[in-house]
Amino acid sequence: MVKSWVVLAVFFMLAAPAAADFSPEELVEVGRAYMERGQNEDAIEPLRMAVEADDENVEAHRLLGLALSMTGRSAEAEPHLARAAELKPKSYETLLLLGMARDLAGRHDKAAKAYEAATKIDEDRPCAWHELGMTHLLRGDPSSAVTALGRAAEVSEKPSGSLLADLGYALSAAGESEKALEVLGRAVEVEPGDAGIRFVKGRVHAAAGQVDEALEAFNAALERKPDCANSALHKGMTLVGAERYEEALPALKLAVAEGSSSPRARAALGRALAATGDLDGAEANLRAAVAAEPRLVASWRDLARVYEAKEKRDEALSALERAASLSPDNEDISGEIQRLRGLADEDDPPKEDLEDTPGEE
């Protein structure tokens, strides 16, 4: 008979050298007891011992995979969850965990296979369909995401607002903005206080070029969660896109202040500051943006304009040349480089011309 989980956990902690005397089943219960107390790190060692003692212990592999996932070690978790799925191939829950571990490890194609296997075990449960849809989005396949998320909503007795929001986002990514906004409207009705749903609705409006509607949604999100960096960032970016730079500044400064490390936040703030005359602030933010993400062509060009406005032509030319290296077929960038070089030539005429210039009598 297996001893009390808590007693086993305490005994294991106090008498680890005697742990070899524990059976695999007892070690599993030790691990489970730790996990129920939220001590996932402590659960790993007894669970490792359990799978080493009995490689066919399904629950040991499953719990070890879960504990590793919950401590940020998804790559280590995957083989244990895969082994659990191999030993018990009809376990819906194990396949879900395996898919999640693969997603966290960046193995989205493999994750999709795990979720698909789960949907075949029970096609009327929404969880695997939902996860499958989100994985298709990560794989860059919005059409398949719409199919999976639509199925999740169909088999749900009462689709949650978050599920409907994800479906709306997928529809937008698949180019179906009108349907997306209809579904997002339903999501708002289901969960009117959810800031995340308003945020997604704002992004869909913005992608459709509906600036006022997007701002209304982002403002609603910020009313519900005033410190949301993402809502502030996308509100600011929408205003910058509409060339409403003064209005954009508070939102973009909030996004940066609330910890948005996105280079896009710094890039948008830099552009807005430049447009409103704060060249030093613009330079600092644009330099931070391209340092974090050197492939931001537009930010290199914005930085070049700031340098030119500050009469730093060499730095401006260098920034434009960097932009040109990233976008060699861009004729506008080539034209800007030629213009700057022409200005440099005017300021520094050839030596022979200077020698031919008559001096004063």
Rg over alpha carbons for the chain, rounded to the nearest Å, is 29
The structural domains of the chain, ordered by start, are: 1-118 (1.25.40.10), 123-226 (1.25.40.10), 228-343 (1.25.40.10)
- 346 pLDDT above the threshold of 90: no
At 4, list the tokens.
Answer: 């009390």
SS3 293: coil
Measured CA distances, 174 to 137, 149, 170, 243 (Å) = 10, 13, 6, 27
- 283 pLDDT above the threshold of 70: yes
Rounded Cα distance between 165 and 97, Å, is 23
pLDDT (tens digit per residue) in 30-65: 999 999 999 999 999 999 999 999 999 999 999 999
Please say whether the beta carbons of 129 and 151 come within 8 A: yes
pLDDT (tens digit per residue) in 89-107: 999 999 999 999 999 989 9
| Mean pLDDT within 214-225 | 96
Phi, psi of 88 (to 5 degrees): -135, 75
pLDDT at site 200: 94
- 1 pLDDT above the threshold of 60: no
pLDDT at site 343: 79
pLDDT (tens digit per residue) in 157-206: 999 999 999 999 999 999 999 999 999 999 999 999 999 999 999 999 99
